[in-house]
A and B are shown apart, each in its own frame.
Chain A
Amino acid sequence: MSAVTATTPPRASALAMSIRQNRGFYGAILLLAALYLVYNFIHPRGFSTNVFIANTNESVALAFVAMAQAMTVIVGGLDLSVGAVMTLTSCIASELVRGEPWQIILGCIVSVAAGAGFGLVNGLVIVYGRLQPIIATLATGAVAIGLALLIRPQPGGEVDLDLNWAVTNSIKDLAETYHLFEDGEAAWLQPIAWVPVPLLILVIITAAVWIPFRRTVTGRTLYAIGSSEGAAYMSGLPINRAKLWAFTLAGFFAGCAGLYLAIQTGSGNADIPQAGAYTLNSIAAVVLGGISLLGGVGTVIGALIGALILRAISFYFRILSIDPLLQPLVEGVVLLAAVSLGAIRTLRVKNRLELFR
Chain B
Amino acid sequence: MANDLTLPRLKSDDLPIVISAGFVLVILALGSVYTVATLGTMPLLSPNYLLTQLQTGAFLGIVAAGMMMVILLGHIDLSVPWTMTAAAMMATTVGGPAAIPTGLAIGLLVGLFNGFGVAYLRIPSMIFTLGVDSVMRGLMIAHTGGFAPQDSATPLMRYLAADKILGIPVAIFVWAAVSIVIAAILSRTAFGKAIYATGNREAASYLSGIRTRWVIVGAFVISGLCAALAGLLLAGYSAKAYQGMGNAYLLPAIAAVVIGGTHILGGRGRFIGTVVGVILIVLLNSVLSIMQMPEAGRQIIYGLVIIIMLLVYGRTAKVTS
Interface residues of A, Cβ cutoff 8 Å to B: 78, 125, 129-132, 134-136, 138-150, 153, 229-230, 233-234, 239, 273, 276, 280, 283-284, 287, 293-294, 323, 325-333, 335-336, 339-340, 342-343, 345-346, 352-353, 355-357
For chain B residues 184-215, which have a beta carbon within 8 Å of chain A?
202-203, 206-207, 212
Q: In the complex the two chains form, what is the Cα distance from A273 to B295 in whole Å?
A: 14
Minimal beta-carbon separation of B149 from chain A (angstroms)? 14
Q: Select which of A131, A336, A352 is within 8 A of B316 by beta carbon.
A: A131
Q: In the complex the two chains form, what is the Cα distance from A342 to B128 in whole Å?
A: 11
3 closest residue pairs by CB, A with B: A329-B138, A146-B299, A142-B303
Minimal beta-carbon separation of B310 from chain A (angstroms)? 5
If A329-B139, A329-B142 are given as contacts, then 20 extra A-B residue pairs at C-beta distance below 8 Å, sorted by A number, are: A131-B307, A131-B310, A131-B315, A132-B265, A132-B314, A134-B76, A138-B251, A138-B306, A139-B302, A139-B303, A140-B307, A280-B130, A328-B141, A331-B138, A332-B131, A340-B123, A353-B207, A355-B122, A356-B202, A356-B212
B300 touches A147 (CB 8 A): yes
Known: A146-B297, A339-B127. A346 touches B121 (CB 8 A): yes
- CB-CB under 8 A from A283, the residues of chain B are 126-127, 130
Q: Which residue of B lies closest to A142 (CB)?
A: B303
Q: Select which of B146, B265, B300, B302 is within 8 A of A325 by beta carbon.
A: B146
Contact with A along B277-321 (1 / 0, CB 8 A): 000000000000000001111111111101100110011111111
Q: Select which of A146, A323, A357 is within 8 A of B300 by beta carbon.
A: A146
Interface residues of B, Cβ cutoff 8 Å to A: 76, 78, 117, 120-124, 126-128, 130-139, 141-142, 145-146, 202-203, 206-207, 212, 244, 247, 251, 254-255, 258, 264-265, 294-304, 306-307, 310-311, 314-321
Minimal beta-carbon separation of A80 from chain B (angstroms)? 8
Q: Which residue of B lies closest to A81 (CB)?
A: B303
Q: In the complex the two chains form, what is the Cα distance from A269 to B166 in whole Å?
A: 47
A325 touches B142 (CB 8 A): yes
Q: Which residue of B lies closest to A140 (CB)?
A: B303
- CB-CB under 8 A from B298, the residues of chain A are 146
- CB-CB under 8 A from A293, the residues of chain B are 124, 126-127
- CB-CB under 8 A from B318, the residues of chain A are 130
Minimal beta-carbon separation of A148 from chain B (angstroms)? 8
Q: In the complex the two chains form, what is the Cα distance from A357 to B124 in whole Å?
A: 11
Q: In the complex the two chains form, what is the Cα distance from A225 to B123 in whole Å?
A: 21
B138 touches A332 (CB 8 A): yes
Minimal beta-carbon separation of A302 from chain B (angstroms)? 15
